[in-house]
Amino acid sequence: MRPVAERMSLSYTGFPALAKRAFDASVSGESGSSEAGMDPWMNGLRLHARRLGSLSLALVLTLASVLPAGASDRSESPSGRQIGAETTGHSLDDILRYISTTWDELNRSASYCKAFKDTKTDGEPILYLPAELAVPQTVGELLQNCNVRVEHLPGRITKLGSVDLDKLPGEGLLYLENPYVVPGGQFNEMYGWDSYFIILGLLREHHLALAKGMVENFFFEIQHYGGVLNANRTYYLSRSQPPFLSSMILAVYNAEKAAGQADPEWLRKAYGFAVQDYDQWNEPPHLAGNTGLSRYFGLGGGPVPEIQEDPSHYYRGAAQFFLTHGGQYGKYVVPIDPKHPVAGIVGPSFPVFVCDSQTSVPTPGNCSDANVTLSADFYEGDRSMRESGFDVTFRFGPFGADTHHYAAVCLNSLLFKTETDLAQMSAFLGLRGDTVQWRRRALERCRRIDQLLWNERRGLYFDYDFVRGKQSQYEYATTFYPLWAGLASPQQARRLVRNLSLFEQPGGLTTSTRESGAQWDSPYGWAPIQLLAVEGLRRYGYGRDADRVAQKFLTTVLRSYLLDKTIREKYDVVAGSAQTQINVGYTQNVIGFGWTNGVFLELLSGVPPEVRAHLDVERPVANAYRQRRATDAQQAEDVGLRITRCDAPIDKTSAAIHSASGQTLLSTMTAEQQTLTTQKTMLAALRPYPASGPVCHR
């Protein structure tokens, strides 16, 4: 019997074949690339032509300069400012002012009514306190000022996933002692790995108390909620996020030390919490089989509740993909029949037609109604993918379904970094036995990563499927994490740099070399990946490559900001644009945005003065571009055409854009700005690890 069609409203029409090709290509080891030798502008047009589908490539190229007057041009920024309005001054001044004011706009605490808004779930706002904590005075005041219900959790929590969420009266916000900065948009809570990059930005702008308070909030989570949480909502009590806690601790401690306020006792307290956080990643269920490495594993079962709108739409799309493509994907779909009764399923069911496999033409006579559901193993993988922070990607199989089967490069690089951080902290605190232990653990993890995750032939790190006993072939930008962590050898670093071109695009580093329709795959680039890669390149002496990648991403963010006065969650780094077309998972490109703000400041602090001066000439380009858009948008409406906008690239010596008539507008820089030197500027202070070279001495 074979499924022929689903009788339901499907929201992912058109993407399954593309996603399947991406996944199949990764399995076969084929390499994806853009059109060699083409101008990045033309590459961007080809990319968007492929996505449009209904327009031929020839039509798109002919009408390359016809730009729509997008609705986003008149949207609102976090401060309520109307986007698209002109401002005066230098372009860098504009965006730096935006970032400085946005920290306040993204600030939350349990005493702010706006902290309780959650567009991801329904129901009345509830604040949950740890079972063992008395009601703080600020919470009592909250009851008078906000329409919020206050509840205690049912019992003391010592491990993630130990709370029966079904026994809670509803989803709600988890209390934290100190104010914190949220990413923005629907992400209105304090997130685990987002906070590291946010904290770097806060420290850059001298918000030391706020940054330190956020780190102490993570101590509070470990003490009262069982670990560092994905974020402080009840539906995140079953999982964590990538471990950056030791990096946060050292960033804050070094900032205090630089300000003459070093606090060894705080570091001693922090060390204890960092050890607890580390321990949860090195015990079941986070062990990756017998590899000696770790894996992501989200506890709980069935669908996650925090998917915006109706979660069943997302899972229906996953079921559609698996049913459509069959074969190796069939394991994720379970028929509901006497062998698999309804009582045993953990998620929604989906009606389908099932037909006799021997019949070539399905008819009502040889087809019957049936219901299917997604397997429990799929949901384990889905929850684990969300713990990884890379939700959604096809890196760990379609829809991340096999995430829990992999020892991931990113996770184990971060744990190596944690081990070396703990060695550094324990040495400072005089804990010599601990220092020896942490160094030994770091060296052992380094050896296992070399053995299982490094591919000598390809010159890249790959995730390791410990269930099947083989490396993935999915090229992913987390291959640069070992540079940031210092575990790559100089020879491995050289090979990685040679492969930088696999990921480097006009607008920065793309997350993967595969287009799956998901936001954590090509053509999208994310701020954290850019920063870790750039800092890793600098660490091993590849400053010129680091400057080039940093400049590309800074330019992408800045040019997008000058067009609509916002900073976004992610960017299409192939087109150099904030416009996204995502078919799998979260489809929005959220405004804010916490970690992009922080990474922008960090990258800007690390580039040479010449690059910074080059960035500051973006304003005349953006102004001319905006004027052209108004004219071209009217032309597009006149002929009834609306196509996806592709931004022109900016080269090192001039800023070029193409008008509707084919003319080129140039903003020529001064001779001093055109002279790019080989000067290498190290990032200013706050280094939680040695400034250069590998830590892992083989």
User: What CA–CA distance (Å, rounded) separates 76 from 564?
Assistant: 9
In a domain, 356, yes or no: yes
Domain boundary among 363, 391, 406: 406
Query: Which of 55-69, 107-121, 398-412 has maximum average pLDDT?
Result: 398-412
Closest CA to 606 of 539, 557, 510: 539
pTM (whole model) above 0.75: yes
Residues 100 and 112 in one domain: no
List the 2-6 sheet strands across, edge first: 2-6, 349-355, 367-374, 333-335
**Strand pairing report for 180-181 and 149-152:** unpaired
Quote the DSSP letter at residue 88. Answer: -
Under the banding of pLDDT at 50, 70 and 90, the label for residue 338 is confident
pLDDT number for residue 97: 96
| Residues 9-55: tens digit of each pLDDT | 333 333 334 444 444 444 444 443 333 333 333 344 334 433 333 33
Distance, in Å, from the CA atom of 100 to the CA atom of 671, rounded to the nearest integer, reads: 31
CB contact set of 458 (below 8 Å; sequence gap of 6+)? 499
Q: What is the mean pLDDT of residues 180-195?
A: 96
The verdict on residue 361 lying in a domain is yes
Chain centroid to Cα 267, Å, comes to: 29
609 preceded by cis ω (within 30°)? no
Do residues 307 and 295 touch, judged by C-beta distance below 8 A? no
Q: Is 569 a catalytic residue?
A: yes
Q: Which one is predicted more confidently, 381 or 15?
A: 381
216 pLDDT band, cuts 50/70/90, is very high
Q: Are residues 645 and 533 in the same domain?
A: yes
**Same domain flag for 87 and 115:** no
Tell whether 258 and 336 lie within a shared domain.
no
Q: What is the DSSP letter of 146?
A: S
Of 118, 391, 465, 521, the active-site residue reads: 391
Residues 228 and 329 in one domain: no
pLDDT value at position 356?
Answer: 67
Task: Return the closest-CA partner of residue 400 out of 411, 409, 389, 414.
Answer: 389
Q: Are residues 510 and 622 in the same domain?
A: yes
Q: Give the least confident one: 47-51, 299-303, 578-582.
A: 47-51
Work out the mean pLDDT of the chain and round it to a whole number.
80
Is 419 a member of any domain? Answer: no
Residues 75 and 124 in one domain: no
DSSP for 383-395 reads HHHHHHT--S-ST
What pLDDT, on the 0 to 100 scale, is given for residue 619?
Answer: 54
Active-site residue, from 256, 569, 632, 647: 569
Residue 429 belongs to a domain: no
Contact 363, 325 (CB under 8 A): no
Distance CA 34, CA 615 (A): 26
219-237: pLDDT as tens digits: 999 999 999 999 999 999 9
Q: pLDDT digit string (tens) for 608-655?
A: 999 999 887 655 444 544 454 444 444 434 333 222 222 223 222 222
- Residue at which a domain ends, from 376, 406, 436: 406
Residue 547 structural domain: 46-105+504-698
C-alpha 53, offset from chain centre: 27
Residues 235 and 300 placed together within one structural domain of the fold: no
User: Residue 2's CB: how many other CB atoms inside 10 A?
Assistant: 16
Q: Are residues 654 and 605 in the same domain?
A: yes
Count structural domains, the chain.
3
Query: How far, in Å, CA of 269 to CA of 649, rounded?
Result: 49
Q: Is residue 601 part of a domain?
A: yes
| Residues 513-544: tens digit of each pLDDT | 999 999 999 999 999 999 999 999 999 999 99
Instruction: For residue 411, tell me if it sits in a domain.
Output: no
CB 190 within 8 A of CB 242: no
Does some domain include residue 487?
no
User: What integer is the mean pLDDT of 266-277?
Assistant: 98
Write out pLDDT tens, residues 89-112.
468 999 999 999 999 999 999 888
Catalytic site residue 475? no
pLDDT digits (tens, 9 = 90+) for 431-453: 999 999 999 999 999 999 999 99
Task: Kindly state the tokens that stand for 93.
Answer: 């001044």
Span 352-359, average pLDDT = 70
Query: Are 228 and 347 members of one domain?
Result: no
310-314 long-range contacts, CB within 8 A, separation 24+:
312/348, 313/11, 314/585
Specify whether 101 is located in the same domain as 116.
no
pLDDT band at 261 (very low <50, low <70, confident <90, very high): very high
Q: Are 309 and 358 in contact (CB under 8 A)?
A: no
End of a domain among 375, 406, 437? Answer: 406
Q: Looking at residue 345, what is its pLDDT?
A: 83
Lowest mean pLDDT among 372-386, 542-556, 614-628: 614-628
Q: Is residue 450 part of a domain?
A: no
Same domain for 520 and 584, yes or no, is yes
| Residues 6+ away with beta carbon under 8 Å from 16 | 320, 321, 324, 325
pLDDT in tens, 653-691: 222 222 222 222 222 233 333 332 222 222 223 334 445
